[in-house]
């Protein structure tokens, strides 16, 4: 899970983080995230833990106090660098979901998308589009396709939905069946026209 260390200005962002944490816990899916106790990261972790879920945090030593490392996680891994953080999160994860967040969330998302594009992993990448937060980003990706910088099949790597349960089901299906992500997007009418 990639998400902000801030809560954002809309209550819907925190509500979505809590809903996703609760949903993952109820489905028995372990969460790997950035290890923070604040912002959407904290909301996600608290909801999952309150529902009896397993939450693994990965945080660089330098951010332990800045992002207020969560003190009741199932497992907190403190690493030396941001690079180590991202590598360990990727290694521990079966799929990736981004909730609203800032530059760090975008950077993490685009790194795993780039790795998928290059064939470095087969893991599904999803966006929970809360209140249209990722609309401009998706439009930018469409523009990059139109301008010849992103191939349509790579744009189709992004599974996005407004509903946490539906997004999770699509990601699980992509992982379980090995269904091409682009095919899943087309079936549900969410791929770029």
**130 domain residue, yes or no:** yes
168: which 2 tokens? 């999770």
Q: How many other CB atoms are found less than 10 A from the CB of residue 27?
A: 13
Please tell me the predicted confidence (pLDDT) of residue 56: 98
pLDDT digits (tens, 9 = 90+) for 88-116: 999 999 999 999 999 999 999 999 999 99
44 is a domain residue: yes
Asked if residue 32 is part of any domain, the answer here is yes
Rounded Cα distance between 127 and 41, Å, is 15
pLDDT at res. 172: 85
Name the residue with higher pLDDT: 77 or 66: 77
Residue range(s) defining the domain that contains residue 150: 11-187
Q: Is residue 4 part of a domain?
A: no
The verdict on residue 19 lying in a domain is yes
Q: 184 falls in which pLDDT band (50, 70, 90)?
A: very low
Closest CA to 90 of 48, 123, 61, 119: 123
CATH at residue 160? 3.40.50.450
Assigned domain for 1 exists: no
Could you give the percent of the chain with pLDDT greater than 70?
91
Tokens 């064939």, located at residue: 119
Per-residue pLDDT, 190? 41
**Domain count across the chain:** 1
pLDDT in tens, 28-65: 999 999 999 999 999 999 999 999 999 999 999 999 87
Q: Is residue 192 part of a domain?
A: no
In a domain, 149, yes or no: yes
pLDDT at 178: 65
What pLDDT does residue 67 have? 65
Alpha-helical segments (H) within the chain: 11-26, 39-50, 82-92, 103-117, 135-146, 152-155, 164-177, 181-187
| Joined tokens for residue 48 | 């999952």
Task: Return the pLDDT at 64.
Answer: 87
Does 187 or 116 have the greater pLDDT score?
116
């Amino acid at each position: 899970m990639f998400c902000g260390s801030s809560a954002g200005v809309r209550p819907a962002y925190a509500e979505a983080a809590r809903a996703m944490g609760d949903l993952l816990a109820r489905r028995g899916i372990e969460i790997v995230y950035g290890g923070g106790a604040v912002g959407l990261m904290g909301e996600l972790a608290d909801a999952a833990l309150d529902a009896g879920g397993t939450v693994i945090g990965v945080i660089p030593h330098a951010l332990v106090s800045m992002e207020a490392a969560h003190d009741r996680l199932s497992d907190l891994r403190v690493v030396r660098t941001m690079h180590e953080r991202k590598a360990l999160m990727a290694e521990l994860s079966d799929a990736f979901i981004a909730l609203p967040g800032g530059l760090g969330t975008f950077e993490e998302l685009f790194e795993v998308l780039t790795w998928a594009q290059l064939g470095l992993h087969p893991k599904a990448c999803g966006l929970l589009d809360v209140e249209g937060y990722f609309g401009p980003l998706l439009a930018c990706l469409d523009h990059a396709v139109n301008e010849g910088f992103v191939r349509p099949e790579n744009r189709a790597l992004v599974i996005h939905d407004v509903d946490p349960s539906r997004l999770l089901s699509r990601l699980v299906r992509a992982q379980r069946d090995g269904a091409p992500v682009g095919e899943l997007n087309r079936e549900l009418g969410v791929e770029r026209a």
